[in-house]
Amino acid sequence: MKLKLTIAYDGAPYAGWQAQKTGLGVQQRVEEAVAKIFPGAGRLRSSSRTDTGVHALGMVAQVEIPDADLKMPPARAALAINAHLPRDIRVMAAARCRAGFDARFDAKRKQYRYFIWMGAAMNPLLRHQAWHVTRALDLGAMRAAARHFLGRHDFKSLAGTRNYEMSSTVRTLARCDLKRQGPLLTFVMEGDGFLYKMCRGIVGTLAQVGQGKIASGDITAILARKDRRAAGMTAPAHGLVLWKVYY
């Protein structure tokens, strides 16, 4: 039987989602907990790979479990797995899925959110979930710049460098919104996929637009350069959350 797990976690203590030889990944902790309940379970296959320090509210992963091991309704499996997880990781839901379901390749789009706290003093309750920016930001200029990211583009200028060449750096961004609630600024980015550090590159660039360091009309030229040095800074990891994966 294949189970679809929706997982939330505080990424601060972890070296990203993926299990790895150096550093502790969230995947490793979840696989260890699953194995205690279902000894014959396979490895998790996830929808995304969040980076070091990035959080998730809606990471989706699949796991195959022998029918003989599953002696409880799938919905109760979440409670059983959570009993063996640290408090900063939780399976929010577990459900049976079709045999051919693939958490990564069946995903239609993903939504990330990034949080900036704009107060003079940082909200201590958000110190691990939001980037503290003390300089005034021109939200009108940032919203005008954000519109240039919408649609299908080559986002190489906004992505972090890898030690290998990507087959394609073209992605389609359907949403790039900025919402303000008091000193809390929320970026909502939704697309068919995201490159390594792409969300953080977009937010860092928009923040520098808001500070007057980059003109809002320069985004088109930045995208056309296909060079990471053409865009703005990479925003810190701790403000980013994988919010939801759509199927």
Q: Point out the residues that are catalytic.
A: 51
Q: Is 73 helix (H, G, I), strand (E, B) or coil?
A: coil
How far apart are alpha carbons 119 and 194 in whole angstroms?
29
Is 207 strand, coil or helix? helix
170-182 CB burial, b ≥16 within 10 A, e <16? ebebeebebeeee
53: nearest Cα among 87, 78, 88, 29: 88
Cα–Cα separations (whole angstroms), residue 153 to 129, 172, 223, 231:
29, 6, 7, 14
Backbone angles phi, psi at 145, to 5 degrees: -70, -40
